[in-house]
Amino acid sequence: MEQSHLNIGIILGSTREGRVSPQVGAWLKELADGRGDAEYHLIDLADYPLPFLGHSGGEDAIQNWAAAIGRMDGFVFVTAEYNHSISGVLKNAIDLVRDEWGNKAAGIVSYGSTGGARAAEHLRGILGELNVADVRIHPTLSLFTDFESFRTFKPAELHHKNVNGMLDQVVAWSAALKTIRA
Ligand SMILES: Cc1cc2nc3c(=O)[nH]c(=O)nc-3n(C[C@H](O)[C@H](O)[C@H](O)COP(=O)(O)O)c2cc1C
């Protein structure tokens, strides 16, 4: 199947000052771009000053956010673990859009003291409700061994294989699911 036209969004799921997600996103983007199988786009929540769902204001940001998600065929969520789940800003951003997520594929890259595994499992439940097909292979980054002083990202080489395995599946499923969207 022709896959070069696929757009895959790498979503940075944290916005706090001092966040590490941009380092993880830049690393993923470089690995992904090297594959040449899709157009990979960094989607940074910090670029979308979204209001809380149900609060007034921020209509332009919501529209821009929905349009950015709508343009994508698949996603890679970069998620930290906040109190055993995803960040509030990521959950709110996911909740603000509905139809634009549906019938698309997603991979998850998580980080935390236990590789962000609990956040990733919560995210899978949320994605299921939105008809997003999340792939099994899930790179988990440890705050203890993949970051220096919890701040400077120094990923172990072994993660490359998992990232590629995850992207193989995201690209294949994104191409397949594209055929059933109007
Ligand atoms: C509010 C808050 C709650 C956190 N809870 C957890 C947690 O439950 N498990 C964990 O492994 N790390 C936890 N952490 C540590 C974060 O995973 C770590 O600070 C990570 O760098 C946050 O991602 P960010 O730098 O992209 O914002 C928490 C951090 C914050 C700010």
Expressed in angstroms and rounded, the spacing between residue 112 Cα and the centre of ligand 1 is: 6
47 pLDDT above the threshold of 70 = yes
* Every domain of the chain and the residues it spans: 7-178
Cβ distance 139 to 76 under 8 Å?
A: no
- What's the start-to-end Cα distance of the chain, in Å? 18
3 pLDDT above the threshold of 70 = no
**Which one, of 133, 146, 141, lies nearest residue 175 by Cα?**
133
CA distance 169 to 158: 18
pLDDT tens for each residue of 58-106: 999 999 999 999 999 999 999 999 999 999 999 999 999 999 999 999 9
165 pLDDT above the threshold of 50 = yes
Taking residues 97-116, what's their average pLDDT?
A: 98
Expressed in angstroms and rounded, the spacing between residue 129 Cα and the centre of ligand 1 is: 25
Alpha-carbon distances of 29 from 34, 78, 126, rounded to whole Å: 8, 11, 24
pLDDT band for position 1 (50/70/90)?
very low
Question: Does any ligand 1 atom lie closer than 6 A to the CB of residue 13?
Answer: no
Q: What superfamily does domain 7-178 belong to in CATH?
A: Flavodoxin domain (3.40.50.360)
Question: Does any ligand 1 atom lie closer than 6 A to the CB of residue 14?
Answer: yes
Distance of CA 161 to the CA centre of its chain: 18
Nearest atom, ligand 1, residue 116 CA = 11
Average pLDDT of the residues of the chain = 97
pLDDT tens for each residue of 26-42: 999 999 999 999 999 99
pLDDT band for position 4 (50/70/90)?
low
Question: Does any ligand 1 atom lie closer than 6 A to the CB of residue 23?
Answer: no
Q: What is the DSSP letter of 81?
A: -
Question: Does any ligand 1 atom lie closer than 6 A to the CB of residue 84?
Answer: yes
Expressed in angstroms and rounded, the spacing between residue 173 Cα and the centre of ligand 1 is: 30
The predicted structure's pLDDT at residue 113: 98
CA distance 15 to 87: 9
The predicted structure's pLDDT at residue 182: 73
Cβ distance 73 to 7 under 8 Å?
A: yes
Q: Which residues contact 4 (CB under 8 A, 6 or more apart)?
A: 36, 37, 38
